[in-house]
Amino acid sequence: MSRKRQYFAFIFLATSILFIGFAFPYFASVASSVFKQHDAHVDIIEPILGETSPGDIIQPILGEISPGDIIHPILGETSRPDLDLTHPKIEVSFPTTSIPHGAHVNGFTIFDNLYLRNGTFFAVSLDPSTFPPKEAILSAPLDLGVPSKELLPTDKHLRYIDLEEAVQLLGHNPLHIDDMTVIIYDTKTFLRHYYHWWGEVILGFWRVYSMINEPGPLPFPSRFMLPVVEEGQWRDRADINGPLLRAMNPSVSIETSGQWNDFIKLNRTIAFKRVGIVNRAAAHRHSEAGKYNKMIGPTMGLEIFSGYWKPLQTKLTQNLLGESSESPQDITRETATTVKSKPVVIYISRQKTGRRLADKDHEALVHSLLKLQDEGFCKVEIPVMENLSVKEQIELVSRSTIMVGVHGNGLTHQLWMPSSSWSTVIEIFFPGGYLFDYQFLSRSAEHQHYAVWNDTSFTTAEAPKSNLDAEGMHGSEIPVYGPTVVDIIRQRLATLSSST
Ligand SMILES: *[C@@H]1O[C@H](CO)[C@@H](O)[C@H](O)[C@H]1NC(C)=O
Ligand SMILES: *[C@@H]1O[C@H](CO)[C@@H](O)[C@H](O)[C@H]1NC(C)=O
Ligand SMILES: *[C@@H]1O[C@H](CO)[C@@H](O)[C@H](O)[C@H]1NC(C)=O
Ligand SMILES: *[C@@H]1O[C@H](CO)[C@@H](O)[C@H](O)[C@H]1NC(C)=O
């Protein structure tokens, strides 16, 4: 070693000794204060691990959390070996799964305390045999066309387990989602459509959800989860689904496969306090779905209290139109003396689409309707819906009493038409063809439904079998005899005009 090197080595050693000498007391005091801080809140951490339930309010820790913040137990996160991770009280906080008030039909099920881990649902019960068969609840989330065997649910989709298995498979400390969630366990195929989204998924869910007889209004879901749908793939072409959902609940979130996969990557158990699971193929396994060829067929047999849809209708129109708008509810009061304005008949034209009336029949129908208006009987609206904003469309519908249109998506708007003794939907089909879509909506939203085959008409009670394949059903030459439609309107509004 050269002299120079020896010199530098000495300087380095001396500096180090000096540094340690001065700095140690400082580090020691910092370390002990950190340690003290830890000590100080051990008492607070322990109750979080062992005894608090989700939603409990914990006192502020380390000054970073303000009073009132809600802390959820994060057991796995601690690196303190002295904490007892197998505290026996933890197991008690593992509520079993149930179907509240029996709220289930094929394809639509409400669960309390359902668990999700690694993309698999777990229902925990002392007696798992009490749950409905899995295939009545869900299917593999695939398109309906695949062989029905592939659609059958497996242990990857849903498992029924007992408490012992729950502790093994789910761990002790789930992450909690406490507000109402709906999981639409389906592909995008039937979601990108106003009717399928609102008229089947949400309406069907709401019918089953309404079986829950608890005090106070049922909260609208805070969250819709679409596990196998990509961002935006659920939106309909006219882009009505999204805005209407926000109008119903401005804080709603619609989560797609990305968020679902986030949960998988967490490698933690998610506990849903209350969740609705909707699945199309499971609905179609029910005989009532087959009979009507409709996903919501099984929900139509449920006994649901009258007016169950009204709160959604009111909420949506209030939120969308604002309180200052003309009250759309005048006509719904059963005492017709309070009706301030003439009833509105809305004809939703499909003349710009494929499935439409023969042009001359459309013109003759418009003529007949305008003649009725001239008689002072009613006000007639014939909007070009494609040219109106969502808000303008709903505003028109919310003050209508009678809706006329060819079988099609536009008739989904009847969900926002107020129900009354006069409210009516007149659906025009190619003679011989019939589908239950909008008749089910009329029954749900509580309107009288008439089907028209050119110059004949019939009500729900006389409905034939579903017939999708009548020749001309989806063509551009659907006939209608205007006076037949006008006669129904006259007949329906007769009681209204005689009582004013
Ligand atoms: C999680 O799910 C994937 C995909 O189904 C599977 O391959 C994997 O084994 C699962 N992991 C665990 C820990 O269950
Ligand atoms: C997930 O956690 C389990 C234990 O709970 C562990 O066995 C497994 O390896 C973990 N998987 C991943 C992908 O981290
Ligand atoms: C509807 O919009 C289209 C395209 O913007 C326009 O050509 C048409 O004149 C509009 N129709 C009405 C009745 O406003
Ligand atoms: C529709 O009914 C009218 C009135 O009865 C009739 O004149 C017309 O021929 C019918 N149209 C079709 C296509 O049957």
Contacts of 45 (CB under 8 A, 6+ apart): 61, 78, 83
CB 204 within 8 A of CB 299: yes
Tell me how far the alpha carbon of residue 268 lies from the centroid of ligand 2, in angstroms.
9
Q: Are residues 433 and 364 in the same domain?
A: yes
> Do residues 290 and 328 both lie within one domain?
no
Residue 13: pLDDT band (50, 70, 90) is low
Task: Read off φ and ψ for residue 177, nearest 5 degrees.
Answer: -115, 110
State the Cα–Cα distance between residues 206 and 442, nearest whole angstrom: 15
pLDDT in tens, 453-499: 999 999 998 998 888 888 898 999 999 999 999 999 999 998 775 55
Are 280 and 377 part of one and the same domain? no
Q: Among all ligands shown, which has an atom nearest to the Cα of 155?
A: 1
Question: Is residue 276 in some structural domain?
Answer: yes
Q: Is 142 among the domain residues?
A: yes
| Whether residue 226 is found in the same domain as residue 248 | yes
Total tally of structural domains belonging to the chain = 3
pLDDT at residue 262 greater than cutoff 50? yes
Looking at ligand 1, which atom is closest to the CA of residue 120? 2
Closest ligand 1 atom to the C-alpha of 264? Answer: 1
Q: Is residue 257 domain-shared with residue 158, that is, in the same domain?
A: yes
Residues 253, 336: one domain? no
Query: Average model confidence (pLDDT) for the chain?
Result: 82
Same domain, 343 and 263: no
In a domain, 154, yes or no: yes
Residue 88 and residue 110 share a domain: no
Say which ligand is closest to the CA of 117.
1
Residue to mutate (ligand 3; options 382, 387, 392; most atoms within 8 A of CB)? 387
Ligand 1 centre distance from Cα of residue 156 (Å): 8
Nearest ligand (C-alpha, residue 266): 2
Task: Note whether residue 305 is domain-resident.
Answer: no
| Ligand 4 centroid to residue 65 C-alpha, Å | 75
Last residue of a domain, one of 42, 61, 92: 92
Q: What is the pTM of this model?
A: 0.80
Q: Which of 11-20, 205-214, 252-261, 383-392 has the lowest mean pLDDT?
A: 11-20
Question: Residue 384 CA: which ligand is closest?
Answer: 3
Same domain, 240 and 197: yes
Supply the CATH number for residue 492's domain. Answer: 3.40.50
Q: Is 343 left (phi over 0), alpha (psi -120 to 50) or beta?
A: beta
Q: Which of 264, 281, 300 is a domain's end point?
A: 300
Confidence of residue 44 (pLDDT cuts 50, 70, 90): very low
Q: State in Å: Cα 387 to ligand 3 middle.
A: 6
Mark 303-318 as b/e (b = at least 16 C-beta within 10 Å). ebeeebbeebbeebbe
Give the helix/strand (H/E) hosting 21. Answer: helix 3-50
Within a domain: 234: yes
- Domain identity same for 413 and 295: no
Site to substitute for ligand 4 among 361, 365, 430, 455, most atoms within 8 A of C-beta: 455
Residue 48 belongs to some domain of the structure: yes
Per-residue pLDDT reduced to its tens digit, 401-435: 999 999 999 999 999 999 999 999 999 999 999 99
**Ligand 1 centre from 158 Cα, in Å?**
13
Q: What is the mean pLDDT of residues 142-154?
A: 91
Domain that holds residue 473: 310-498
> Ligand 3 pocket: which residues have CB below 6 Å?
384, 387
Cα dihedral 378, 382, 387, 393, rounded to 10, equals: 40
152 and 284 housed in the same domain: yes
Say if residue 14 is in the same domain as residue 128. no
440 found inside a domain: yes
Which of 235, 269, 300 is a domain's end point? 300
Residue 112: inside a domain, yes or no?
yes
Rg (CA), the chain: 31
